[in-house]
Each structure stands twice: as C-alpha cells, then as structure tokens.
Structure 1
Amino acid sequence: MNNTNFEPMPPVEETSQTGEQTTVPEYTRQPRRDKMPRPAQPKVRRVGFFTLGIALILTGGCIAASLVLKDFPLLTVAKLAPLVLVALGVEVLWANARKGDAQLKYDLLSMFVCFVLICASMCAATVPILLRYYGPEREYTERRLEQELEQQVHEKLPAGSVLDGYSYVDLNRMEFDKNMTLADLKTEDTVRLNLTLAGTYADENAFAEACAQLLPTLRELGVDEVDFRSENGDDQWELQIGGVFQMNSGAQELAGQVTHMVRYWEDDEYSWWEKEALDTYLAQKAQNDQQEPQPEEDSVENTLEESVEINTEEATVVENG
C-alpha cells in the first residue's frame, strides 16, 4: 500500500485587525421636495339658498295651518306667492353688496324650486276660483232659484193663463251667497222664463195683448227675458222679448214681433211654417204641378187594347195546346 504524503496547507492569516470595524455604507435620505403652494381660491357665496329655505318654511307652515284652522285664508296667502321673487331679488342685492372678494354663485336648483312653488301657489289660488265659478255650489244655487221662481210665477200669474213653463237663472258674478233668494239677484244676473200660454188667439194682436198683461208681474219677479209660446190646432204663436225696453212695451209694440206658425201636413208628416212662407211654397208647388205633362187619353186606350190582344193570344195558345 503506497503512502501518499500530503503537505499541510498554510494557515490562513486573518486580515482583520483587532479593534477595526467593518464599514457598512449608510443610506442617505434625500430631502423631501416641498409641495407647490396651491393658488388661493376665492370664496364662493351661494345666492338663492336662503330664499329657498324661507319659502319652504312658509309654504309648509301655511299648508299645515290650513289643515288645522278651518278659516285660515289660504287663498289670500297663495296670492302673495310672488313675494318669493321679491325675497330672491333682495338676497341677490344683499349678496352683491357684501361679496367683497367672494365669488357669487347662483343656486339654480333653489331658484327652480322657488319657481315651482310660485307656480303651485298660483294654481292653488286659481283652483278655488274656478270651483267657485263652475263648481257644484253655483249650480245648486241656480237650480234652487229656478224652482223658487217657477213657484212664484205659478202663484202670482192669473189662474189658467199658463199651461207650462220653465226658467233659467245664471249668476254672472264671482261672489255669491249660496243661501241667497230671488230678492238678492243683481243686474248682472240673468233670469229667463219660457211660458206656454193657454187659450186660442185670432191674430198677432190678440196674442200680444195676452203677453203684455203678464209682463208687470214678471218684471216684479226680476225676469229679464221671456219666451212666450202658444199652440192651438194648426196654429202656433211665438214671442221672444228681452231687455228693459221690450219688457216695458205695450201690446201694440209687441204685436209686430209675434211669429205666427202654421202646421202643414205632407206625406203623413207635418212641419211648422210661417204663414207667408207657406203661402209662397204652396203657390210654387201648384205652379210646378200644372207644368208637368199629363198622359194623353189615346196612349191609355192603346195600352189597354194591346193588353187585351196579348191576353187573347195567350188564351188561344192554351186552347190549341
């Protein structure tokens, strides 16, 4: 077995000397960059927000008060809705006077809400007016006055002078009392009667005389317009008057306004004609009838002879068959 001689390695000398420390590179922090100063922004003053708050408070308070208090004048308050615009204008002037370095910014949303409140308030103020003018209270009052008028006409006119009648009462004004009577009617109100008179009348003068006798009583009841009518057999009389002058006219003045209608039958149907118009129509019709050609007697006889010959020929054919 061969012995291999290994030479020992020289000892490693320590390079580090006692007391010396290993130097480690240190991290050096970079100085922080200072931020760029932002430019100073002007102050912003919003215009319209204060007015919106006041409008909301007042609107809500008025609506709540109208629900609690029965006699709260909500209609009067609604008429004052344009004062919101006055308040908004005052706020704009006040903000412009005190803005200084501040920049004014108009709050469009607040202004829009104020505009909506104004429109809603105006509508709320208009609706009661429309209900007052076209509502059920007015109609009920008019119908009640009509019944009262018809009852008084029936009581005050001579018995048997009127066969039938009905009335119209129009309250042509905004304010009225639902408990009013005929005595409370004013000149702007309209009262109209439609009366069917009894009896027979020989001519226009007789009918006008009957109508004139009833006018004083109708004037006392406040009637402004009257439609008189009478029908007897084939005659019909009509008289329509209205206004102060005609209501105070006599029989002679009224006779010229009477309309005389005549019933005319034709083809089992009738229609009403004025006397002069009917006379003209009948004369024209008679003239047209005279102008139409009449069938000649010879043509009639020839037709009869031809029909006899045809019947004879048919009889002969039957016998031969």
Structure 2
Amino acid sequence: MDENKNTSAASDAETPAAPKKVRRVGRVAFALLLIATGVLLLIQQFVPNFDLLSIVRFAPALLIVLGVEILIYSARSDVKVKFDWLSVLGCGFILVVVGCSSLVPVLWNLYGPSRDYAQNRYQKELQDQFYQAMNADSELKSKIRNLQIYVAFNHTESGEYTLQDMDSVSVYVELPENGYTDAVDFAADCRRIADLSEKSGVNADDYNFNSYSNNGGNGNRYSLSFLSSFVEGLTDEQLAQRVCAYYDYDGESFENKADRDNTAAAELREQVIAEYKNDNNDAYPSEDYITEQVQKRMALLFPVPAASEAPAATPETAA
C-alpha cells in the first residue's frame, strides 16, 4: 500500500502545468479601427460637408481600447499578454491616412480656387458699390486716383463662401498727389469718403488713405488708417492728429513743412545766385531779385492745391 501511494504522489509531481494561452494586445483595437475607418470614409464620400476632422479628434479613444484589452487579459491567470506590434503600427498608419483625408477638405476650402473666386467676386461687387456711393459727391469722387477693396475669408467652414462676421473687408484709397495743403483737409476728405462708404452698405472693417508727393519727390505726403468705428464722434481736427504727414523735397522727407521749405529755399537761393552770376559776368544779384526767383521756383516745386468746394448737401446736412 505504501509503495502505491508513493508511486501516485511521484506521478502527480511530475505532471507538467498546462501552458498559458498567448493573447496579443492590439488586434481588437486594429480590427475596430479598420471597421470605423471604412465606415467614416464611406460617409465622407456620400454625405456633403461631412466633418471628418471632428471625428478624428476622438483618436485617443484607441488608447482606451488598448488599455481595456490589457486589463481583461491580465486578469486571467491562464493568459500570457503580448503586444502585437504589427497591429499597433497598423493603427498608427491608418490614423495618419484618415487624418490626412480629413484635412484635404479643410485645405481645399482655405486655399482652393473656389475660395479665391468668391473673394474676388465680393471685392469687385464692393468696389462697384463703393463707386456708386461716390456719385452722391462727384467732386470728391474725382479725387480718387485708385481704389482697392480686399476681402479676407477668415472662417473655415467647408463650402461656405459668403461674407460672415469673422471675415474682414479693407478699403485702400489713393487720393491726388500734392492734393492737400494740410492734414486737416486730407482728414476731412477721408471722413467724407468713409461716411459715404458706410451709407452705401460696404461696411468695411478698416480704411486706409494715402496722398503722395510727385514723381520728383517734391510735395506733401499724407497717410491715414483707422477702423470704421474710430471716426465716430471725432472732429476733422481731431482725426487729423492721427494723420502721418511727411514733407518731401528732392526725394528727402522732413517731419514738418518749415524744415522742408527752409532747406529748399536755401538750395534754390544758391542756384539763383549761381545762374545770375554765370549770365552776368560774375555780378551778384540783388536781394529782391533773389527773393522773387526763389518764391517762383518754390511755387513750381510745391504748388498750392485749388481750394476744395464745399461738400454737396445731403438730406442729413440740409436738415
């Protein structure tokens, strides 16, 4: 009896333990991702304006699936857990493909020809509308040398090519070269143009005005930029304080008119004296002659613009 017991105990001790099943983490996540990807790409093909990018933002949920797999398999003593690296790499590759596919409609909407065409169409329509508004003041309209209106679509909704609140409209107006005697006159015309623009419904976000000196680099140069809401409540004199004014002579800019005129007068004086002495056997001209010639040449260099007529009466001003 003892011998049988010992033989049975030895036999039990020598019996090997059952091998653990190997479970590769990542296969379930890979399979689910393949199914979801196929479904989403089909929906993108047949559903207009489907926002695939918003779905791709839930990609971190894949990590949750992998974590659940690990917890389930680790809880079982008869299972050995291993990572299926091919499945994990496959998941990453599919996410890259889907992410690129979701960005294609967004990039097309932002940089595609349809967006540019819509912006150009709006720019032309607003320019026509702007010029029609200027018909209310023909004298002011005649001063406009160049007009550019730029429309920028800042919204990113796919397929939406209409002006929205977040979009911007900028107006650039070039006024006559050497057309203003001072910044106040320049600011007054800028205000009148902006007011007519607003009344016509252009509703620009900002205005930019420029008046340059002549091609020889002589004259007065003014620039003014402001938001459409800025001018409300300001007088022309107050608005003129925002004007950037430069006074040019022979291509050189001066910050004030007096310095420019003094520099020009001094150089013209030397020219007048040199020319007179050359024509009159080195005789020196009289001061009256010098002053007269300098004034004439100053008037040619810096002509005084014709006085602007009063703005045309409107129902508001007539009242």
**SS of match in other structure, 1:118:** helix
Find the aligned partners of 2:262 and 2:103 in 1 and give their Cα distance.
57
Task: State the match for 1:151 in structure 2.
Answer: 128
Amino acid of the structure 1 residue aligned with 2:186: F
CA contact (8 A) 1:237 1:261 kept: yes
- 1:213 is aligned, of 182, 192, 211, to 192
- 1:49 is aligned, of 27, 51, 54, to 27
CA contact (8 A) 2:206 2:228 kept: no
C-alpha distance 129-164 of structure 1, shift in aligned 2 (>3 A)? same
Give the superposed CA RMSD: 3.6
CA contact (8 A) 1:192 1:225 kept: yes
Does residue 236 of structure 2 align to residue 257 of structure 1? no
Q: Map residues 228-243 of structure 1 onto 2, 5 A cutoff.
A: 228-231=209-212, 234-243=218-227
Does residue 64 of structure 2 align to residue 80 of structure 1? no
Q: Which gives a bigger RCO, structure 1 or 2 (Cα 8 Å, sep 6+)?
A: 2
Task: State the match for 2:83 in structure 1.
Answer: 106
Find the aligned partners of 2:71 and 2:265 in 1 and give their Cα distance.
87
Deviation at 1:253, TM superposition (A): 1.1
- 1:202 is aligned, of 181, 204, 207, to 181
C-alpha distance 282-85 of structure 1, shift in aligned 2 (>3 A)? same
CA contact (8 A) 2:169 2:205 kept: yes
Does residue 260 of structure 2 align to residue 278 of structure 1? yes
- Per-residue CA deviation, residues 148-205 of structure 1 (Å, 9 max, x unaligned), is 211111100122242321122222333376452xxx442x332221112359433222
- 1:116 is aligned, of 93, 99, 120, to 93
**SS of match in other structure, 2:132:** helix
Deviation at 1:115, TM superposition (A): 2.4
CA contact (8 A) 2:23 2:73 kept: yes
TM-score (norm 2): 0.63
C-alpha distance 70-211 of structure 1, shift in aligned 2 (>3 A)? closer
Task: State the match for 1:247 in structure 2.
Answer: 231
C-alpha distance 283-146 of structure 1, shift in aligned 2 (>3 A)? same
Find the aligned partners of 2:167 and 2:209 in 1 and give their Cα distance.
21
Count of aligned residue pairs for this structure pair: 245
C-alpha distance 202-68 of structure 1, shift in aligned 2 (>3 A)? closer
Between the aligned residues of both structures, percent identity stands at 27
CA contact (8 A) 1:219 1:247 kept: no
Task: State the match for 2:207 in structure 1.
Answer: 226
CA contact (8 A) 1:169 1:192 kept: yes
Deviation at 1:215, TM superposition (A): 2.3
Find the aligned partners of 2:187 and 2:47 in 1 and give their Cα distance.
59
Does residue 155 of structure 2 align to residue 170 of structure 1? no
Does residue 70 of structure 2 align to residue 92 of structure 1? yes
Does residue 118 of structure 2 align to residue 141 of structure 1? yes
- Per-residue CA deviation, residues 111-155 of structure 1 (Å, 9 max, x unaligned), is 222123233333333443343334433333222221121111110
**SS of match in other structure, 1:137:** helix
- Per-residue CA deviation, residues 221-245 of structure 1 (Å, 9 max, x unaligned), is 2122222223576434423121255
Unaligned runs of 5+ in 1: 1-35, 287-321
C-alpha distance 198-177 of structure 1, shift in aligned 2 (>3 A)? farther
